Amino acid sequence: MTEETVREREKRLLEATARKDRAAFRQLYDMTYGQVRFFLIRKLNDENLAEDVLVETYSAVWLQAGTFRGKSRGLTWIMGIARNLAHKALRGRRNHRSLEDLAQLANGKHPGDEDFSRKQVLAKALDVLSDKHREVLELVFFHGMTYPEAATLLKVPVNTIKSRIFYAKKSLLKTFEQMGVQADDI
């Protein structure tokens, strides 16, 4: 399945959800659950709170699907809802979930494992980044968004996304240096 088809499918399922098609809604949930959950856990640093916001997000998707105009990607629209609800839940508290913790949660590996340590160094470096830089890296590399999609979600100009992503990489390389790690070794 090509990326374009994924986007079209998201759009079709959202349109069907707007017509109160429960089967389509379930497919949309299955399709996007992992990404939205990852996004919320990273944002909220609290799995229980992330689950509550996830439930709120999908309830809102069901109720507001009729307002989706198809101008952005379906996933971007859903994550926009999730992001707003997460900000509401945070109420000024900001503490994103460490990728290290997520790595441990994901595959049960420990810092002593060879495969894990490489990932761990990179994960630590990513966690040192500012929220803005880390967020844009995640949107582009984890969620596979284009610059305009990330710009829509974060409500910033496309050029801001472009500059943030390059500053994020620059900052990451600087962090490697400070950690005494050669980027080539990662």
Partner 1 sequence: MISERRKWREHIPLYLNGSLGEEQRHAFEKILEENPQLRREVAEFAKIHDLYADFQQQLPPPSERVFRRVEAAIRTQEQAPVAKPAAQPFRRLGKTLAGLFAAPRLSWALVAVQLVIIVVLVAGRGQTPVFRTLTSTPQAVHPAAAVQVVFQAHAAEAQIRKVLLAIGASIADGPTAEGLYTLRLADKTNIEQALQRLRQSPLVRFAGRVY
Stretch 7-46: interaction string toward partner 1, x if CB under 8 A: -------------------x--xx--xxx-xx--------
Size of the site for partner 1 (CB under 8 A): 43
Give the type of residue at 183: A
Q: Which is nearer to partner 1, 26 or 93 (CB)?
A: 26
Smallest gap, in angstroms, from Cβ of residue 173 to partner 1? 7
Binding-site member from 63, 64, 110, 179 for partner 1 (CB under 8 A) = 63
Q: Which is nearer to partner 1, 15 or 92 (CB)?
A: 15
- Burial string for 158-176 (b: 16+ CB within 10 Å, else e) reads eebbeebbeebeebbeebb
Contact between 102 and partner 1 by CB under 8 A: the answer reads yes
- The span from the CA of 146 to the CA of 139, in Å, is 8
Contact between 145 and partner 1 by CB under 8 A: the answer reads yes
Q: Three-state DSSP class for 106?
A: helix
- What are the φ and ψ backbone dihedral angles of 52, each rounded to 5 degrees? -60, -45
Smallest gap, in angstroms, from Cβ of residue 128 to partner 1? 13
Beta carbons of 61 and 125 less than 8 angstroms apart: no
- The span from the CA of 126 to the CA of 120, in Å, is 10
- The span from the CA of 182 to the CA of 186, in Å, is 7
Binding-site member from 123, 128, 156, 181 for partner 1 (CB under 8 A) = 123
Residue matched to tokens 């284009």: 146
**Strand ranges for the chain from DSSP E:** none
- The span from the CA of 56 to the CA of 84, in Å, is 11
Q: Which is nearer to partner 1, 12 or 37 (CB)?
A: 37
Interface contacts to partner 1, rule CB under 8 A: 3, 26, 29-30, 33-35, 37-38, 51, 54-56, 58-59, 62-63, 99, 102-103, 106-107, 119, 122-123, 126, 137-138, 140-142, 144-147, 162, 165-166, 169, 172-173, 183, 186
